[in-house]
Amino acid sequence: MKPSGQRTLQRALISLYHKEGLEETLELLHQHGIEILSTGGTADWIRGQGYPVQEVESLTGFPSILGGRVKTLHPAIFGGILGRRNQPEDIQTLQRMEIPWIDLVLVDLYPFEETMQSGAPEPEVIEKIDIGGIALIRAAAKNFEEVLVIPSRHEVPFLEAILRQRPYTTREERKHMARRAFLRTSLYDNAIYRWLDREDHPDNTGLQGISPESMMPLRYGENPHQKGWFAGHLNEIFEQLGGKELSYNNLLDLDNGLAFLEEFHEPAWVIIKHNNPCGLAVNSNPDIAFEKALKADEKSAFGGIFLSNKPVTIHVAEKLKDFFFEAVSAPDFEPEAYALLRKKSQRILLRHKAFQRPRLQVRSALHGFLIQERDHVPLRQEEGRVVTQKHPDPGQWQDLMMAWKVVRHTRSNAIVLVREGQMIGVGTGHTSRIDALHHALAKAREAGLNVQGAVLASEAFFPFPDSVERAAAAGVQAIIQPGGSVRDQDSVEACDRLGLAMVFTGFRHFKH
């Protein structure tokens, strides 16, 4: 007896535009004795491969009409897909109407996207809008408790992997493919929407999945001559307590600032300017954390975004009341602090909420989108591998962990210097790592901060002895970096010669 949730595949409905490369699928279905239903052209192809097939028309008693526009849209087909095996009424209905159960739906849609991109005339593009195939996919995906859906020829390897082992599916497999199916139909429908919308909104052709109605206008884009919009739900993240409207640049800086804050449980302040951290500190006293963050680069903090993971105190508000800033964001404001800061009506005051970041990051590129998993690999101290003779002492370990949290959110090439819970220097966005180091050291000197005893973090390989020598000469005592370069030993030997500790994390954190 099969465990609950397993469903034997007895009958498959196959409707394919592209049929190449599916010969093994047919053979596997045949080996397991799975009956095949299919539409005209696909049925002819299956029969030509030497396998038995029942045409849809023989089941529905209705021929394909309107030049193939209507083939599978019939209760005898959709009843077999949508019927629930655990519902007596469904079972009786299908038995009375002699409708067979369908356990597998394999569909490859008309190539609308390819036809649209080819520049084909409008009537030809319209004929490639699939109707029956989309309906089959959605029906099978909806009834994933009973039916396995394969919504594209690109998903066929998933089916073949199952059939090589067994003639039945699990609930997890069916639910997984249901998700994939609704992703396929949503992208397909969105491509149709963008094509139909191209004349009314020609500038939106690259905004897949975003309707003009959902775009919130911003003051402007990165520059005043550029229009800007935000598509999303800001009210799930911020409550604006005062100030002017948020701008495109404000939102980028706030997003980056919150990413830094999410790394810390202890009280922290971070100051963001042009999407770079110019001040960051942690301390059990949030007022001290603020002062140390501002001290790191007060000049660059002018016009910046200030964020904290603790409520804004009157002490901080007193420091900020005559300081020019774009926005302050915190979980809350002490009443006196809020009253003081809101006296200048243009200052943006935000109360940020707890929220879950999406697993995927999306950015536009080349008239399309780049999609990747969010870079979230937390590091515990015991996971760091000391590769030098000298080991970090407890205070250095604490600073190393902080520096690593900061550098992985800093634009490459990046170097971060930390001393006693304060980021004292940062080099960000440089084309060479030694230049990033020079910049970080110069920032520390300019702020009058002591580098002696500081630690250094590099978000990527730190393989050459010259960088180690320059850092040691300035007073750096410990370095944390990914490791993994063929020249690692050069920097390790330099650390041993100069009496520095070095820790490898095993993870690179490029950010562009």
Catalytic residues: 142, 274
Exposure string of 239-258, with b = 16+ CB inside 10 Å and e = fewer, is: ebbbbeebbbbbbebbebbb
Rg over alpha carbons for the chain, rounded to the nearest Å, is: 30
For residue 413, whether the previous peptide bond is cis, meaning omega lies within 30 degrees of 0, is yes
**Could you tell me the sign of the dihedral formed by the alpha carbons of 363, 366, 369, 370, in that order?**
negative
**Could you tell me the sign of the dihedral formed by the alpha carbons of 200, 202, 205, 210, in that order?**
negative
Q: How many CA atoms lie within 13 A of 55 on its CB side?
A: 15
Strands (E), 374-440: 385-386, 415-419, 422-427
Cα→Cα distances 268→236, 281, 375, 403, Å: 22, 6, 21, 13
Task: With beta carbons less than 8 A apart as the criterion, state whether 374 and 361 touch.
Answer: yes
| Cα 3 versus chain centre, distance | 35
List, in sequence order, every residue forming a beta bridge with 240; answer none if it has no partner. 350
CA distance 184 to 309: 40
